[in-house]
Each structure stands twice: as structure tokens, then as C-alpha cells.
Amino acid sequence: MSAAAGAGITRRPFGRLADGQPVDEVTLDNGRGLVLSAVNLGGAVTSLQCPDRHRRPGNVVLALAAPCDERHVGRNFGTLVGRYANRIAGACFTLDGQPHVLPANDGTNTLHGGPAGFGARWWSIDELPPQADGSIAVELGLCSDDGDQGFPGRLEVKVRYTLTPAQEWRIDYQARSDRATVVNLTHHAYWNLAGGGSALGHRLMLAASRYAAVDARLVPLRYDSVDGTPFDFRRLREVAERLRDDHEQIVLAHGYDHHWVIDRPAPGLVPAARLEDPLSGRVLEIETTEPGLQFYSGNFLDGSLVSRAGRTLRQGDGLCLETQHAPDAPHRADELPGVTLRPGQTWRSTTVHRFGVVA
């Protein structure tokens, strides 16, 4: 399939960081109504336009009004996340008998790589030649030094954002290290397929029969069946349907902030989630090579942040569907493998977001 008329990549100045580093916004347009904009700071997606059932465009991700403002840097709002997405309990782990102490930025946990994780970093963004199937892409790059946020190894990361003619946003991750380390990369987009208002009326399906029950620190204790619980999304169900249940896990997390284990029939890309907005008709389908997904219902959006659309952001205005390895896996490497990266190896992951509509 050839590139559609109007497809292409543009770049414009976006702002500067506190240290004077310039930030650009790069926009990919697949010529078929799917338009993604991203900036160097955190690789953050500042807009993702896609059509509704009436072919009207709308932005389906939340973005901050001033993402370069130092007060917002590190909030992981629409950014890439690393070196280790989600929580590491006790802000430490041991690898090959050597302890590593990390900064605690979530109570006693390290969350999303620490206070200066990858979502707070400047990423290079390079345009790539158009692909044979008409896809367009950019490659983002970051080098994380040995000891960065306490993690061992000099880690070189490349992330590719691709828009395809099939209305897909594909993210391909790869990382290499000169020392044994742990890696868990994801993207922290806040989705609202309506383009505004609350996302709690969206309908969600998760291809998962088990979820991680957590303690008061939101660190996994065990993996339970979703049967008979508010965590059973194996069929499409409104997000708000059981969000106010008195189930212990809902109370602990102030909503949903849990890891689901994807029912994986085979290696490679498999379905992980489906999200529908009845009002606009927009549909998001997610496939991934990852073993799990963190569903977060935006519980801690409290009105202290303002969106690019000029609205104060509150609980449920957006929700996250973060494909990833399990939280705290460095403490359970025998049970939850796949996060250790050794010299000479390449860590790889792919997630595909496919957009469509229902009548």
C-alpha cells in the first residue's frame, strides 16, 4: 500500500527546558486521518488525532498545557517510561548478588524509573524514510548512563513511533546495556476516545484472566483470578460500572491501578485490550508482545494539572493501558523473568494501537 496523499512528517519549535535545551514538536500524518504529534521531552505524545464515526477528527490523548514547565517535568504524562516502568518495592533490588539502591519517589517505592526517569529526559527524534507499505516513522533515542537513578549499566535505548495506512500507531522498543541491568519500558498515554469530558463511560475489554492483587504500597502480593471480581474485563464493560465497589483492592488503589496478566495463546503480538467510546464511536484495539498490562483509571488526577485544551484534569478524565512486564519483577526474577538485560543482548518489545469506529 502506497503512502496516502498528504502523508508526511513536519517539525516545529515547541519550547525550551529550564537549562535552555530546545524542544521540537514532530508531527506524523498518515494522510488517512491519523495524526500524531510528539516532543523531545520524554518522547511525550502531545496530540493524537483520529476520526469518529462521522469522520470528524478529535484528540484522543490528554496532554499538559505546558509540558516543558519544570513543575510538570517527570509527571510521566503521555511520555515514554523507564528505565523500569511501574513500581520497584523498597527502592532497591539485587542483581547477580549485588544490591542497587534507587531513589524512592512513590512512598518507599521507585516508580517509573525514579524522579528523573525517562519521562523527564530529552530524547533525540529523527525522521525515517517512508516505508514500502506507506507507513511513516520517527526514531527516538536516549542514552542512560551507568548509575542513572541507581540502575547499573550504560543503557542505549531506541524507540520507533510508526503510523501505518491501517490506522495504527506502532511502538517498537529496543535497548542494549554494557552491564547486567533491569529494563521495563512502556508508554504512559492517557486515553480519552471522546476527545473530552470523562472517560469513565468508555467500555473496556482486557484479554486477561488474572490480575495482581496489591498491598497498601500498590506492590503486587499475589496473582488472583478475575472471576467474580470488579477486575473481570474479559467482556466489554463500562469502566465506571464497579469503580466505586467496596472491594478491598478498589479501595486500596482508589480505583483501578493494577497489573493484568495477558492470556497469551502464542508468542509475538497478541490482543491485550479493546476500548470503545459509545458517544464518538471510536475504538482502540491494543496488541502487544508484552506479558501484561497496567490499567490505571486516573485516580490521582486531582485538578492540579491543566490540559492543553485548558481544562483542569480530574479522576477519570483519561485512563492508561500500559503494556509492560510485571511491577516489582526484579524482586521475583525466578517467577517473573524477562526484565534482566545482559551485555550482548537486545531487549525488544512492540505494542500496536489500532483505531477504528463502531456504528
Number of helical (H) and strand (E) elements in the chain, helices listed first = 1, 29
State the sign of the Cα–Cα–Cα–Cα dihedral 230, 234, 239, 240: negative
Which of 230, 229, 211, 231 is CA-nearest to residue 221? Answer: 211
Dist CA 327 CA 81 (whole Å): 13
Compute CA distances 241 → 163, 166, 244, 345, whole Å. Answer: 33, 32, 8, 44
The single-letter code of the amino acid at 201 is G
The CATH architecture annotation of domain 8-357 reads: Distorted Sandwich (2.70)
Tens-digit pLDDT string for the chain (359 aa): 666 878 999 999 999 988 899 999 999 999 999 999 999 999 999 999 999 999 999 999 999 888 777 667 778 999 999 999 999 999 999 999 999 999 999 999 999 999 999 999 999 999 999 999 999 999 999 999 999 999 999 999 999 999 999 999 999 999 999 999 999 999 999 999 999 999 999 999 999 999 999 999 999 999 999 999 999 999 999 999 999 999 999 999 999 999 999 999 999 999 999 999 999 999 999 999 999 999 999 999 999 889 988 899 999 999 999 999 999 999 998 889 999 999 999 999 999 999 999 98
**Beta bridge partners of residue 354, listed in sequence order:** 168, 285
Asked if 163 and 137 touch (Cβ cutoff 8 Å), the reply is yes
DSSP states along 50-107: EE-TTS-EEE-B--BS-TTSTTTTTS-SS-EE-SB-SEEGGGEEEETTEEEE----BT
Dist CA 138 CA 126 (whole Å): 5
HSE-CB at 32 with a 13 A cutoff on CA atoms is: 17
Question: Catalytic amino acids?
Answer: 188, 322
